[in-house]
């Protein structure tokens, strides 16, 4: 039984317009010419859900042994991957990102991407209305308004705070579960 080839993306915009598992599947078909294997698909799905940049995932797939053997013709991909590679370099990447405004894979960027991916997986239209990297640039370097955050930047800021508060509450809850109950608390509970 031959596997029916699903069409990959023809250009970078089409490839990046997908979210969550759909993005992973489209990336595999576009760069490797096949469906994701269970282990690789799960790995990259976890990566996208944790906020790793789509370009980082595409870079890893294209630089794999299997990816280098493929002749993928995707308009704009090679140039985007070259620029992204420069932006995520350990020592010079920060300077490149500061000068060019390109996105990297910092903790804040990953948190924002994870939130947007989650929202887009629930409602695909939310993903098409948002470009996390572009919103990051506007939030951090507002050009239209002097010193004020853009609406999208403020939403990102509030969502990040909510995620941090939720993580803090979870840590507190875990710590409280590890604390043994005070002596004599069983007697009080029995009287009630």
* 103-126 pLDDT tens trace: 777 788 888 888 888 877 776 555
pLDDT score, position 110: 83
pLDDT score, position 103: 78
pLDDT score, position 147: 38
Instruction: Write a three-state SS string for the chain.
Output: CCCCCCCCCCEHHHHHCCCHHHHHHHHHHHHCCCCCCHHHHHHHHHHHHCCCCHHHHHHHHHHCHHHHHCCCCCECHHHHHHHHHHHCCCCCHHHHHHHHCCCCCCHHHHHHHHHHHHHHHHCHHHHHCCCHHHHHHHHHCCCCCCCCCCHHHHHHHHHHHHHHHHHHHHHHHHHHHHCCCCCCHHHHHHHC
* 125-153 pLDDT tens trace: 554 444 444 444 444 434 333 333 444 55
Percent of the residues in the chain that have a pLDDT greater than 70, as a whole number? 73
Low-confidence residues in the chain, pLDDT < 70: 1-6, 123-158, 184-192
pLDDT score, position 130: 44
């Amino acid at each position: 039984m031959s596997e029916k080839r699903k069409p990959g993306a023809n250009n970078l915009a089409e490839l990046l317009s997908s979210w969550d598992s759909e993005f992973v599947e489209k990336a595999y078909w576009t760069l490797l010419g096949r469906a994701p294997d269970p282990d690789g698909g799960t790995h990259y799905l976890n990566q996208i859900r944790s906020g790793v940049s789509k370009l980082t995932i595409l870079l890893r797939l294209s630089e794999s042994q299997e990816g280098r053997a493929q002749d993928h013709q995707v308009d704009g991909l090679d140039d985007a991957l070259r620029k992204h590679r420069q932006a995520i370099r350990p020592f010079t990447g920060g300077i490149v990102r500061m000068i060019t405004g390109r996105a990297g894979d910092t903790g804040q960027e990953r948190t924002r991407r994870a939130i947007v991916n989650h929202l887009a997986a629930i409602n695909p239209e939310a993903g098409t209305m948002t470009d996390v990297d572009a919103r990051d640039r506007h939030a951090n370097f507002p050009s239209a308004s002097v010193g004020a955050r853009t609406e999208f930047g403020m939403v990102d800021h509030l969502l990040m705070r909510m995620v941090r508060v939720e993580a803090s509450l979870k840590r507190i809850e875990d710590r409280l579960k590890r604390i043994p109950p005070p002596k004599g608390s069983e007697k009080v509970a029995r009287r009630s």
